[in-house]
Amino acid sequence: MASTRERVREHRRRLRAQGLRPVQIWVPDVRAPEFVAEAHRQSAAVAASEHEAEDQAFVDAISVDWDEAEPGE
C-alpha cells in the first residue's frame, strides 16, 4: 500500500493534470475574540449611522435569496 505522502503526491499530480494549481490563502479567524469584537463594533456603527436605512436598502438590493435563486445566478 502506498504511503500517505505518495497518495497525496499522486492526488496533486492528477489535479495539476486537470489544469489546477494549489493556492494557499490566509483569512481572518472568525472565531477569534478580537474578530468578534471588531465585527460587533462595525455593525453597531452602521446601525447607529444616519444613513442606516440607505445602507440596508443597498444590501437588500444586491442580496440574493438563495432559497429562490435560479441556477447560474
pLDDT tens digit sequence for 35-44:
999 999 999 9
State the DSSP code for 59: H
Average pLDDT of the residues in 28-55: 96
Percent of the chain beyond pLDDT 70?
96
Is 70 among the domain residues? no
- The whole-angstrom distance between residue 33's C-alpha and the CA centroid of its chain comes to 19
Looking at the structure of the chain, the number of domains it has is 1
Range of the domain at 14: 4-65
pLDDT level of residue 66 (50, 70, 90 thresholds): confident
Is 73 among the domain residues? no
Is 72 among the domain residues? no
Q: Give the global pTM.
A: 0.54
